Amino acid sequence: MTNTFRVGDRSPRVAEARSTLARLGLLSGYEADLSDKYAEEDKLFDADLAHVLKAFQQSRGIVPSGNIDDMTLRELRHASYKLGSRVLSYQPNNEMVGDDVASLQEQLQELGFYSHRVDGHFGPGTYEALSNYQLNSGLQDDGVCGPDTVRLLAVIARQTGTGPGVSVVREVATLTAGSRSLADLRIVVGQFGGLSALTRQLVQALRQRSATVVASDQPDATTQAAAANRFAASVYIGFESLVGGDSTVHYFAVPQFESAGGRALAELVAARTTELVPGFAPAVLGMRLPVLRETRMPAVLLSVGPVHTALDHSPELVMAVVEALETWSTGTPPVGIPQPE
């Protein structure tokens, strides 16, 4: 873990962030240092760097604080990888992560070989898709993305159009099937500190409507996501307290992909809470937060602020979420969700 660095701090981590932003072409007037031997002036966190960092964070779907924390450093490193800059392979105990993996997934998805979400993690699904693509393309089907595979992908990309991708079409088809109800859903309800009273009420209300529900109070987002995956959940809905700012409903989205099911549920939750909860009007925002990225099912995270508003009106908030889930389960997405042809 690293500390969080702010304007006025001095650290090699600050210089690393500055250098990476420069290599990405986001920091004008500064030449990237590739030696890792940073000058002292580069280690000073100034207001100009904070301004550029906010724009980068916003583009990556993380909280635009303008500070350098662990998540921001990880995203900077992931963004620095471009497809072809390194050999990609499946490493079960230490999965490769980066924008190059996301680019590979996106291209394989457009070609119909990859049916999972584009998350930038080289997992078994990416390995299988890549091996099948190589086998069908006359390449050695070793599941390793080296120069030959990258070159062939680039040629094919110039010859094919773009589309929503297999996983998006599949998720929309499931969403609009219209044959489900709450009783058909397996739901994980999670919370990240201080909202267990709210989530207990929600779990009870969903069980009264015959849904299969489990609660998760683990403080680590990755642990909650793994638990939801093991449970084979139909949907994950999480709650976190928000210090300052307005409430927001998040769903998973990156430039190459967005969860259609997550977005539909997020919009329904936002609409119903605005109608039923006094003083509550959450925005809807696609982000790549870990609990959204690492869950395999549609997922939303409701950032609640101020917390006392949610707790004071917990019956109304619970009813709003239940009604949103009921509507979502019937397969009637809000306006704006793409429909499969």
Q: What is the mean pLDDT of each run of 10 residues along the chain (341 residues)?
A: 85 92 85 66 93 92 90 93 95 93 90 85 94 86 94 73 48 54 92 89 95 93 91 94 83 80 94 91 90 89 82 92 93 48 40
Question: Are 150 and 103 found together in one domain?
Answer: yes
Question: Are 183 and 125 found together in one domain?
Answer: no
Range of the domain at 147: 99-163
* 235 backbone dihedrals φ, ψ, rounded to 5°: -160, 145
How far CA 223 is from CA of 50, 130, 229, in Å, comes to: 31, 28, 10
Question: Are 208 and 287 found together in one domain?
Answer: yes
CATH number at residue 312: 3.40.630.40
Whether residue 87 lies inside any domain: the answer is: no
**Cα 148 to Cα 85: distance, rounded to the nearest angstrom:** 13
Whether residue 6 lies inside any domain: the answer is: no
Whether residue 341 lies inside any domain: the answer is: no
Question: Are 159 and 186 found together in one domain?
Answer: no
- pLDDT at residue 274, rounded to an integer: 94
Whether residue 156 lies inside any domain: the answer is: yes
Question: Are 61 and 118 found together in one domain?
Answer: no
- What's the domain count of the chain? 3
- pLDDT at residue 39, rounded to an integer: 81
Question: Are 221 and 287 found together in one domain?
Answer: yes
- pLDDT at residue 338, rounded to an integer: 45
Question: Are 181 and 240 found together in one domain?
Answer: yes
Whether residue 89 lies inside any domain: the answer is: no
CATH number at residue 142: 1.10.101.10
Whether residue 335 lies inside any domain: the answer is: no
Question: Are 219 and 278 found together in one domain?
Answer: yes
Question: Are 211 and 234 found together in one domain?
Answer: yes
Question: Are 128 and 209 found together in one domain?
Answer: no
Residue whose token pair is 């909280």: 63
Whether residue 5 lies inside any domain: the answer is: no
- pLDDT at residue 34, rounded to an integer: 56
* 219 backbone dihedrals φ, ψ, rounded to 5°: -75, -15
224-237 per-residue burial string, b: 16 or more CB within 10 A, e: under 16? bbebbeebebbbbb
Question: Are 286 and 210 found together in one domain?
Answer: yes
Whether residue 298 lies inside any domain: the answer is: yes
Question: Are 320 and 230 found together in one domain?
Answer: yes
